[in-house]
Amino acid sequence: MTYSTNEMMTVAAARRLKNNAVCFVGIGLPSKAANLARLTSSPDVVLIYESGPIGAKPSVLPLSIGDGELAETA
């Protein structure tokens, strides 16, 4: 199986997030990495998005910092 550079970077970044860590998250690859970590190895990581939600647990990846999914799950 072949993985893209973006997929490899996402997994590498997710592995760096420790459980119970607090992480300021951007949109795109940072959001993918943070949520991958939250869903796998670091379920208690606290995600803070620049639009204000603290502790968001989106069930789908947000498309922007203003995505309603962030406010609804924070």
Point out the residues that are catalytic. 50
Contact present, 45 and 18 (Cβ < 8 Å): yes
Q: Residue 74 is which amino acid?
A: A
Please state at what angle helix 29-39 crosses helix 5-16, rounded to 10 degrees: 50
Question: Per the structure block, which two tokens stand in for 60?
Answer: 């789908």
